[in-house]
Amino acid sequence: MAPQPKAAGKGCELDKYIGRDVGLEVAFACGDVDPRTINFMPIGALRAKEFSLEWDTVDATADDNKGNTRSNLATYKTFSCSGDGTCKKKDDTQSNQTALFMHVNDPQGTSGQPVAWIRITCPDITVYAFCIITSIGRTMPFDELATFNFEATATDSPFGVIVEKTPEVGG
């Protein structure tokens, strides 16, 4: 018996995903607040989102290493993220880029530090990181689209960088 085709309107399940399927959100709260309990605002009109997790290492090589192979130990990890997108004239439920810029310029309620919780939701993992927003800017060429960008790096919090499996929709 041949496999039955999927019902019309249900679509095909894909194994891969594209960048617009990833959400990047921010919450202006202190590092001692559990990020899984707060409301996040999407940073919208993004065209690119990126994050990386890297470990610093120290050389632990000694004269008893076999085969002249170096030995390394991991010490501290660095989480960083960034995004860039198109400027919008005003914030709304999907953008909030003006609120992010205003917070970085004059961080109220976070001890004068340009910090925020950032949540990145991919189809397979969700990352929460308490970050310092290290840069934010806009580019406005004379005859091109106005764009914005930001960069952030995780900083100390009682929760560290949290990585969880993203719950399946409807499951």
- The tokens for 50 are 């990126």
Lowest-confidence range among 24-28, 43-47, 92-96, 100-104? 92-96
Does the pLDDT value for residue 112 go beyond 60? yes
Label residue 125 by pLDDT band (50, 70, 90): very high
Does the pLDDT value for residue 5 go beyond 60? no
The answer to whether 124 and 166 are in contact (CB under 8 A) is yes
Label residue 92 by pLDDT band (50, 70, 90): confident
What is the Cα–Cα distance from 43 to 46, expressed in whole angstroms? 7
Residue 130: phi and psi, rounded to 5, are -85, 115
Q: Could you count the other beta carbons within 10 Å of the beta carbon of residue 123?
A: 13
What is the Cα–Cα distance from 5 to 160, expressed in whole angstroms? 46
What is the Cα–Cα distance from 126 to 122, expressed in whole angstroms? 6
Does the pLDDT value for residue 164 go beyond 70? yes
Q: What pLDDT is attached to residue 8?
A: 58
How much of the chain, in percent, has pLDDT values that exceed 90?
78
* Residue 52 CB-density burial (10 A; 0-12 exposed, 13-18 middle, 19+ buried): exposed
> Helices in the chain by DSSP H: which ranges?
97-105
Label residue 41 by pLDDT band (50, 70, 90): very high
Residues 6+ apart with CB under 8 A from 113: 107, 132
Q: What pLDDT is attached to residue 109?
A: 87
- The tokens for 145 are 């689209």
